[in-house]
Amino acid sequence: MYRVLPFIKSGSFRPIVHYCQVKRRANVLNSGFQTHTRTFSAGAGTGNNNLLKAIHSSKVLKDGSKFTGDIINDKMNGLGVLVFTDGSTYKGEFKEDQMHGKGVFTDADGSVYEGDYVNGVQNGEAKFTSSDGDVYVGSVVDENMHGFGTLSSLDGSIYEGEFVNNEPHGTGQLIQANGEVHIGQFAHGLRHGAGKVLLSNGTVLEVEFVRGHPHGTCTMSESNGDIFEGYMMNGIMQPVGKRTSADGIVYVGEFLRGKPHGKGKLTLTNGTVYEGQLDQGKFHGYGKTTSTKGVVTEGMYVYDVLDGPATVTYPYGRVDEGLFIDGTREGVWKVTMPDGSVREEKY
């Protein structure tokens, strides 16, 4: 009596943030110079011979890293290129021996950070491409994806929204590779809070998420106009709900594989009401039908057809008791009139 929705797989999207980390190269620039070559000119109008500006200078740091670029007062200031011993490189702006301003850091593993630096720390707006091909474009705070950004995975999924410390957290939109779209709240990389899921077949699911799983009351609007209202628990649709079809038919009761199954109440567009047992959307078992004129028929149904003992009660008080065979009255029926008199009718 339970159904796992096919579009709910792991409760979260592929955790690409785990390896799409913003890379850092810290404190290497403060290791001191070992050797250098330079051309320089005196600082204009300063009267201070220690203020020197180097053009197209090159230096080798004590750890073996090599710098080529602008130097002021024996410090990297301006534009330059720094090549680290592991093959990583930084090309961009420097200030007081720190990467500062716009720059491009290419790691030895092939990942690339293009964006802002503040005093050697990645801060600001940036684009980060991991060695696996995943791409982040957005805000970076203290070398973490933090603020608003877009994270595109190599498998085709795209998350656009808020990040906190390298994880989707806050309001966002996740477009999965199969075309499904999730719009809503995220917490620590998982769908959490109010959300809306747009399926590739046009169905729209509105439901609360708890730690990546749909959990709570839900509304499912199908592309044909049918609307289902029910309850989900840990990603599983519970077997009781309400379905309103586009043509106005309303069913409230138990379901199996998306169809009325078990005990329920079905109201047809012409006003006829059926209450009782159903099997895959058909009247099957004991049930009661009330017509628009108030005639109540109770008995056994076999796939929408009355078959067996039954009672028919009219709104003015007459009661007929007898046997239906294949939907037709058969044999002798007992008829009780409103005044209590009884007679028999043969069919």
Instruction: Give pTM, 2 decimals.
Output: 0.76
pLDDT tier, 56 (very low <50, low <70, confident <90, very high otherwise): low
Residues 123 and 33 in one domain: yes
- Check residue 152 and give its pLDDT: 96
pLDDT tier, 330 (very low <50, low <70, confident <90, very high otherwise): very high
Of 188, 191, 182, 221, residue with least CA distance to 209: 191
Distance CA 72, CA 58 (A): 12
- Range 114-119 average pLDDT: 97
User: What is the number of residues in the chain?
Assistant: 347
Query: Does residue 149 sit within a domain?
Result: no
Sign of the Cα torsion 275, 277, 282, 285 reads negative
- Check residue 57 and give its pLDDT: 83
Beta carbons of 67 and 80 less than 8 angstroms apart: yes
Domain's final residue, options 238, 269, 293: 238
- Check residue 110 and give its pLDDT: 94
- Check residue 55 and give its pLDDT: 55
Q: Tell me the residue type at 30.
A: N
Beta carbons of 231 and 220 less than 8 angstroms apart: no
In CATH, what number is assigned to the domain containing residue 112?
A: 2.20.110
In CATH, what number is assigned to the domain containing residue 330?
A: 2.20.110.10
Of 19, 41, 12, residue with least CA distance to 209: 12
- Range 140-168 average pLDDT: 96
Domain's final residue, options 131, 150, 168: 131
pLDDT tens digits along 278-320: 999 999 999 999 999 999 999 999 999 999 999 999 999 999 9
* Tokens found for residue 28: 């290497």
Residues 34 and 111 in one domain: yes
Query: Does residue 179 sit within a domain?
Result: yes
Residues 25 and 11 in one domain: no
Q: Which domain holds residue 199?
A: 1-15+159-238
3-state secondary structure of 304: coil
Query: Does residue 147 sit within a domain?
Result: no
Number of domains in the chain: 3
pLDDT tens digits along 204-261: 999 999 999 999 999 999 999 999 999 999 999 999 999 999 999 999 999 998 899 9
Lowest-confidence region among 8-17, 118-127, 335-344: 8-17
Torsion of CA 233, 236, 239, 243, to 10 degrees: 100
Token match 């785990």: residue? 18
Distance CA 342, CA 319 (A): 10
Q: Is the pLDDT of residue 58 over 90?
A: no
